[in-house]
Amino acid sequence: MTRHIHRPSRMNDARSRQHAGWWAFALHRISGVALALFLPLHFWALSQSLQGPDALEHFLRWTDRPLFKFAEWGLVCLLALHMTGGLRVLALEFLPWRDWQKTLLACSVGAAFVVGCAFALAL
């Protein structure tokens, strides 16, 4: 048998992706990539402690300003989105389901929104 492994002739554009499942994928992927990009910065910040408690304390005080608080809130939202998106995928893959994937998506985005709001109120 001949298997035709081919280059796709025409690709999907944005019009074919206007549905909840694709948005859920996009949110999960974008939040994941953004968190991965943040990780080196996170490790660098932690590494300040290697130069003594004063260096870390100085750095933490330096970040104690509105812009960083806003960025921290964004980070929590990204984490919440990525976690709830991941739980959604796990539910899709391991629970018997059929017609409630959009409900699941709404629950995951809703849960992420609640976490984001809760953190913003606690700031």
User: What residues make contact with other proteins under the rule CB under 8 A?
Assistant: 1-17, 19-22, 24-25, 89, 92-94, 97-98, 101
Query: Minimum distance between the CB of residue 93 and other proteins, rounded to whole angstroms?
Result: 5
Give the residue with the Cβ less far from other proteins, 21 or 74. 21
Q: How far is the CB of 22 from other proteins (least distance, A)?
A: 5
Q: Between residues 3 and 61, which has the closer beta carbon with respect to other proteins?
A: 3
Q: Which of 110, 87, 106, 112 lies closest to 20, judged by CA? A: 106
Comparison of 56 and 91: residue with beta carbon closer to other proteins: 91
- Helix, strand, coil fractions of the chain, as percent rounded to 5: 80, 0, 20
Q: Are 92 and 101 in contact (CB under 8 A)?
A: yes
CB of 111 to other proteins, least distance (A): 18
Q: From the centroid of its chain, how far is CA 123? A: 20
Q: Which is nearer to other proteins, 18 or 64 (CB)?
A: 18
Return all residues near 13 (Cβ < 8 A) that are at least 6 apart.
Answer: none
